[in-house]
């Protein structure tokens, strides 16, 4: 009779890699459920069942559903920050500063029309008390907005944009590009679901941002 090798015994505490994998699985599952069902319809028990993790495992990491939702939003923001940094790095040697700003402005439109982003904005609107709690915990510095402000400053320094508050210009640009299509998507419309529709809207919005609607006589 062949003797079977002894199975490796697991310690009571999971390894760091295993713990990180579990956390990622919980966040990924929760993000999908929140996005497809909404905040109210999603429970910790359901997240545990879908991702095959014990409720105690989830509660040790996230003591409440609100804290789990906060972790999901924080994870999404981290992904956006990383993608934005990579996008800026890739275009840093291409075109002039205004062309770089235009590229990133178009990228902002794409990100804000992503179905997951739209779903979470819809949750924030319908569950304002939870959104307010998340906002209160956010750091005052926003790396996403800071990156846009930096690009506006560089375009100003290169004399492509008028002087003035770069913060106000960046906010105006963001509202010009994102506000309408994002709200349209949150209402369940598909007006800007195609790349062609997004491109057409963006070119008009970008030109309005640069030149306004007033015709000089």
The 3-state DSSP class for residue 167 equals: helix
- Per the listing, tokens 């794409």 go with 110
Which CATH number applies to 74-211: 1.10.357, 3.40.1350, 3.30.470, 2.40.37? 1.10.357
Q: Where are the domains of the chain?
A: 16-63, 74-211
pLDDT number for residue 6: 43
Q: Encode pLDDT of 161-190 as tens digits.
A: 999 999 999 999 999 999 999 999 999 999
pTM (two decimals): 0.83
| DSSP at 7 | P
Q: Residue 4: what pLDDT?
A: 41
Q: CATH code for 16-63?
A: 1.10.10.60
* CA distance between the termini of the chain: 100
Report the distance separating Cα 105 and Cα 16, nearest Å: 39
| Residue range 73-93: mean pLDDT, rounded | 94
* The token pair that represents 59 in the structure block: 């509660």
- Kindly report the average pLDDT of the chain as a whole number: 88
pLDDT of residue 115: 92
For the chain, give the percent of residues with pLDDT over 70.
87
Mean pLDDT across 80-94:
94
Residue with tokens 């509202």: 175
Q: What average pLDDT does range 5-28 have in this prediction?
A: 71
40: CB partners within 8 A, 6+ apart: 127
Query: With contact defined as beta carbons under 8 Å apart, do 191 and 197 qualify?
Result: yes
Of the candidates 198, 213, 191, 189, the one whose C-alpha atom is nearest the C-alpha of residue 106 is 198
Which pLDDT band, with edges at 50, 70 and 90, does 5 fall under?
A: very low
For the chain, give the percent of residues with pLDDT over 90: 72
User: Is residue 145 within 8 Å of residue 170, measured between CB atoms?
Assistant: yes
| Token pair belonging to 110 | 């794409």
Neighbouring CB atoms inside 10 A of 199's CB total 13
């Amino acid at each position: 009779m062949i003797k079977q090798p002894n199975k490796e015994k697991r310690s009571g505490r999971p390894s760091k890699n295993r713990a990180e994998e579990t956390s990622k699985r919980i966040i990924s599952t929760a993000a999908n459920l929140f996005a497809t069902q909404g905040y109210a319809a999603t429970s910790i028990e359901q997240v545990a069942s879908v991702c095959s993790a014990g409720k105690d495992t989830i509660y040790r990491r996230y003591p409440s559903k609100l804290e789990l939702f906060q972790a999901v939003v924080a994870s999404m923001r981290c992904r956006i920050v990383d993608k934005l940094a990579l996008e800026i790095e890739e275009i840093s040697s291409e075109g002039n500063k205004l062309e770089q700003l235009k590229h990133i402005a178009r990228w902002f439109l794409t990100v804000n029309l992503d179905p997951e982003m739209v779903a979470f904005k819809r949750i924030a609107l319908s569950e304002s008390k939870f959104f307010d709690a998340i906002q209160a915990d956010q750091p005052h510095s926003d790396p996403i907005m800071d990156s846009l402000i930096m690009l506006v400053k560089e375009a100003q320094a290169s004399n492509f944009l008028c002087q003035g508050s770069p913060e106000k210009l960046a906010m105006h640009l963001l509202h010009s590009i994102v506000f309408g299509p994002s709200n349209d998507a949150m209402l369940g419309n598909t007006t800007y679901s195609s790349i062609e529709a997004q491109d057409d809207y963006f070119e008009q919005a970008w030109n309005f941002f640069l030149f306004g609607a007033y015709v000089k006589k």
